[in-house]
Amino acid sequence: MFVGLCTLTEMQGSKVSKGARKRGQLASLLVEAYQNREALEEQIAEGRRNRKEAGNKYGADHIL
């Protein structure tokens, strides 16, 4: 068992220090990823909509 590890929900509420962010520590990267999750999901959904609209516009089945 690992000592000193906190759960993801505990990490979400914490702030990431500049030093941890600069060093690229896994915990700080996870915190930032979960904090930015909604924005990322919206960007992905927007990209899917754009691809679908482009496919409808140009008649392509799959646009890569």
Question: In Å, how far are 11, 26, 30, 62, 64 from 48, measured between CA atoms?
Answer: 30, 29, 25, 12, 11
| 1-60 confidence digits (pLDDT tens) | 333 445 555 555 556 666 766 677 888 888 888 999 999 999 999 999 999 999 888 876
Residue, of 41 and 61, whose pLDDT is higher = 41
Of 4, 54, 49, residue with least CA distance to 25: 4
Domain ranges of the chain: 11-58
Q: What is the DSSP annotation of 4-49?
A: S---HHHHHTSPPPHHHHHHT-HHHHHHHHHHTHHHHHHHHHHHHH
- pTM score, whole prediction: 0.47
